[in-house]
Chains A and B, each alone.
Chain A
Amino acid sequence: MDLPESSVPHADKVGQARPAPRRLGSRGLVDREELLRVIAQSLYSLGYRKAAAALEVESGVPLYPAEHDRLLLDVMAGRWDACVETIGSVAGVSNADRAVAEFLVWRGHYLELLGMGDAGLRRAREVLRRRIAPLRIDRRCVHWLARAMVSCEGMVAPEAVVQSRIALFLHLVEVFPPWFHLPSGRLEHLVESAVTKQVESCIYHNLPDEISLFEDHKCHEEQIPSKCAQILYGHNNEVWFVRFSNNGNYLASSSSDCTAIIWKVEKDDMLTKKHCLKGHQNPISFVAWSPNDKMLLTCGNGESLKLWNVDTSECNLKFGGSGDYTITTCAWFPNSEKIVCAGYDLGAGSSNRIFTCDLEGKELEVWAGVRIPKLSDLAVTPDGKHLICVSSNEIWIRELPKGREWRIHEKQTISSLSLSDDGQSLIVNLNSEEIHLWKVHRSSSVPEKFKGHMQGKFVIRSCFGGSNSLFIASGSEDSQVYIWKRHLETPIKVLHGHTMIVNCVSWNPTRPQMLASASDDHTVRIWLACKTKHTNS
């Protein structure tokens, strides 16, 4: 239906044959004149003045209405009465707005007169009395202007007249409705909103591609990790925990065979075993990378913490705080020099303790006593400002070093916690087979929920992932890995492959196409996205 227009203008013939349609677009939502004006404005701002002028002539739709150009000339020349006349002649402006516009004009004139010194003082008084006061604008403005006669505040010096008139004009057009003087960059704004909308509704949007204007943006399902690319056999027993390092170059896995293994991620997205950390007497339930990725903390079940050097695989330190404490969970502070641990006393009295200590094992701060609950998980936000603790039904957030604290209550028991990379959101796995997402700075009392996986008896961990942390992944007791898009309650992808419970998942922070999962079947599986921008599959 739309034939490419030839460059020979035969607009007259076409104009006589049939009038141009008033409304454009498949749904008739776009007004032809508005579209032409927006295009002309865009051409002017791109610098194609001749093309823009030609468009105005050929289409017969000028960018600005006649009153607009008249007003501009009048303001720049200082023909104030003519300005007011023009303001009066613009259709579709409410009386209140007209009064405001007139006020601006007269105020500009008044301030210029003040700038002329004593010579203009008498005329300024006339303007104030005859023109401004009758407009019945806010009295305070009038009083301020009267004061300015004496204080000379805001007066416009003769040299600055041109600038002030330009500023006055820009101020003036803001009072009028948008069809009078288009907001700048209107076409670009409209295009960007459409593209943003498409990206938001794209559920598989994982790789930060350049968005093309030539087609609607829609990512393919294969852009999130979907195929099992590698199975890592390294452990002799159930693998309970897996975590990528902060720079995405290493993976740490820990197992109930009392060892932890560090794997290196090679350039072709394959993993090779680097070190095997032996030394614990008990199964290792938890592993934490230092923020600079040089050190690794391993937490044995009912045992002390061990600090390992990643490069040399030596155990630098073993500590469990003072006294006979079992450490259940720990987290690093962003400066890689301080850690916070939670534990409980094995002996009678079973008191709970949260303490921070440095890398020598020396305790720095201790919170103990009746108010401290037994924690199942702990995290520190990446800016080091908040400490987040999870006890059976509550998420407890406190500002560090000392400040506000607030709690989020859950009806069901919480088994694990995970924080997003920007430290703004957290997810908790509940025993009722739901994952709840809360904002750290509690802006709503209802969490986002994600369902579909199975969890009843065991600690199942989940994580944020993908570019911009737009996805959530979790293990499950039915041996599958579940992936959700944020804001959607049902999973968008379920990965099969493991033969037993998937305990823990970790999404590579720097390679959004890679996901690792740890399972009771002694293996760690690496899942990759099939179609990536850089590799040709």
Chain B
Amino acid sequence: MGLLFLERLEGEGVFRCRQCRVDAASKDSIISRDFYGRTGRAYLFDRVVNICLGPKEDRYLITGLHTVNDIYCSCCQQILGWRYEKAYDESQKYKEGKFILERGRMVRDG
């Protein structure tokens, strides 16, 4: 693969991929800490960098049926969480376009 374009995030409280330490998200983009993923706690983020999207699939989550894409670290391809493409319940619409990063896959700096 060619020269990977890696964005670097400024400021304190940057979450990085546990495996390759590439920046993924800043603590300023956290919308909620009240989520659960495959490995435990997870946070909902507004903006995430250096990830690639997997294919769309329909999945039943705790909160109902959603269409999601899994997201992978663009550097080491480790699965970090998912992105909400579409929510079918009105009360869940706020999640559309946002990202879930699992706390167990991240390390936090600062």
Taking beta carbons and an 8 Å cutoff, which residues of A are in contact with B?
238, 240, 256, 283, 285, 301, 344, 373-374, 376, 392, 413, 415, 431, 456-460, 501, 503, 520
A501 and B5 alpha carbons, distance in the complex (Å): 13
> Restricting to B1-23, which residues have a CB under 8 Å from any CB of A?
1-5, 7-8, 10
- The answer to whether A501 and B10 touch across the interface, beta carbons within 8 angstroms, is no
Closest approach, in angstroms, between the C-beta of B95 and any C-beta of chain A?
22
Q: 7 shortest A-B CB distances, which residue pairs?
A: A458-B2, A503-B2, A459-B5, A459-B3, A415-B5, A240-B3, A501-B2
Known A413-B49, A457-B52, A457-B74; judge A431-B8 contact (CB<8 A).
no
Which residues of B lie under 8 Å from residue A373 when comparing CB positions? 10
Size class of the contact patch on chain B: 10 to 19
Report whether over half of chain B's contact residues are helix, strand or loop; otherwise say mixed: loop
- The answer to whether B52 and A374 touch across the interface, beta carbons within 8 angstroms, is no
Known A413-B49, A457-B52; judge A520-B8 contact (CB<8 A).
no
| A459 touches which of B4, B8, B10, B52 (Cβ 8 Å) | B4
Which residues of B lie under 8 Å from residue A431 when comparing CB positions? 5
Which residues of A lie under 8 Å from residue B4 when comparing CB positions? 457-459
Which residues of B lie under 8 Å from residue A415 when comparing CB positions? 5
Nearest neighbor of A392 in chain B, beta-carbon distance: B7
Which residues of B lie under 8 Å from residue A413 when comparing CB positions? 5, 7, 49
Task: Give the residue among A283, A392, A457 with the most B Cβ atoms within 10 A.
Answer: A457
Report whether over half of chain A's contact residues are helix, strand or loop; otherwise say mixed: loop
Closest approach, in angstroms, between the C-beta of A354 and any C-beta of chain B?
15
A-B contact pairs, 9 of them (CB 8 A): A238-B1, A374-B10, A392-B7, A413-B5, A415-B5, A457-B5, A457-B52, A459-B4, A459-B5
| A503 touches which of B3, B7, B8, B10 (Cβ 8 Å) | B3
A404 and B9 alpha carbons, distance in the complex (Å): 27
Which residues of B lie under 8 Å from residue A283 when comparing CB positions? 3
Closest approach, in angstroms, between the C-beta of B2 and any C-beta of chain A?
4
Taking beta carbons and an 8 Å cutoff, which residues of B are in contact with A?
1-5, 7-8, 10, 49, 52, 74
- The answer to whether B1 and A458 touch across the interface, beta carbons within 8 angstroms, is yes
A520 and B5 alpha carbons, distance in the complex (Å): 15
Nearest neighbor of A458 in chain B, beta-carbon distance: B2
| A458 touches which of B5, B8, B10, B49 (Cβ 8 Å) | B5
Nearest neighbor of A455 in chain B, beta-carbon distance: B5
A254 and B49 alpha carbons, distance in the complex (Å): 27
Closest approach, in angstroms, between the C-beta of A477 and any C-beta of chain B?
8
A415 and B3 alpha carbons, distance in the complex (Å): 11
- The answer to whether A285 and B3 touch across the interface, beta carbons within 8 angstroms, is yes
Task: Give the residue among B5, B49, B52, B74 with the most A Cβ atoms within 10 A.
Answer: B5
- The answer to whether A456 and B7 touch across the interface, beta carbons within 8 angstroms, is no
A374 and B10 alpha carbons, distance in the complex (Å): 8
Closest approach, in angstroms, between the C-beta of B44 and any C-beta of chain A?
21
Closest approach, in angstroms, between the C-beta of B83 and any C-beta of chain A?
14
A378 and B8 alpha carbons, distance in the complex (Å): 16
A9 and B49 alpha carbons, distance in the complex (Å): 83
- The answer to whether B2 and A520 touch across the interface, beta carbons within 8 angstroms, is yes
A457 and B49 alpha carbons, distance in the complex (Å): 10
A301 and B6 alpha carbons, distance in the complex (Å): 12
A285 and B6 alpha carbons, distance in the complex (Å): 13
A503 and B1 alpha carbons, distance in the complex (Å): 10
Which residues of A lie under 8 Å from residue B3 when comparing CB positions? 240, 256, 283, 285, 301, 458-459, 503
A373 and B4 alpha carbons, distance in the complex (Å): 20
- The answer to whether B2 and A240 touch across the interface, beta carbons within 8 angstroms, is yes
- Other than the given A413-B5, A457-B1, A459-B4, 14 more pairs (CB < 8 A) read A240-B3, A301-B3, A344-B8, A392-B7, A392-B8, A413-B7, A457-B4, A457-B52, A457-B74, A458-B4, A459-B2, A460-B2, A501-B1, A501-B2
A459 and B6 alpha carbons, distance in the complex (Å): 9
Task: Give the residue among B3, B7, B52 with the most A Cβ atoms within 10 A.
Answer: B3
A467 and B21 alpha carbons, distance in the complex (Å): 45
A185 and B2 alpha carbons, distance in the complex (Å): 58
A493 and B66 alpha carbons, distance in the complex (Å): 41
Task: Give the residue among B2, B49, B52 with the most A Cβ atoms within 10 A.
Answer: B2
Nearest neighbor of B53 in chain A, beta-carbon distance: A456
A236 and B5 alpha carbons, distance in the complex (Å): 22
- The answer to whether A520 and B1 touch across the interface, beta carbons within 8 angstroms, is yes
Which residues of B lie under 8 Å from residue A460 when comparing CB positions? 2
Which residues of B lie under 8 Å from residue A501 when comparing CB positions? 1-2
Which residues of A lie under 8 Å from residue B8 when comparing CB positions? 344, 374, 392
A344 and B8 alpha carbons, distance in the complex (Å): 11
Nearest neighbor of A502 in chain B, beta-carbon distance: B2
A435 and B3 alpha carbons, distance in the complex (Å): 18
A324 and B41 alpha carbons, distance in the complex (Å): 37
Nearest neighbor of A374 in chain B, beta-carbon distance: B8
Closest approach, in angstroms, between the C-beta of B38 and any C-beta of chain A?
24
A457 and B77 alpha carbons, distance in the complex (Å): 12
Which residues of B lie under 8 Å from residue A301 when comparing CB positions? 3
Nearest neighbor of A284 in chain B, beta-carbon distance: B3
Closest approach, in angstroms, between the C-beta of A360 and any C-beta of chain B?
29
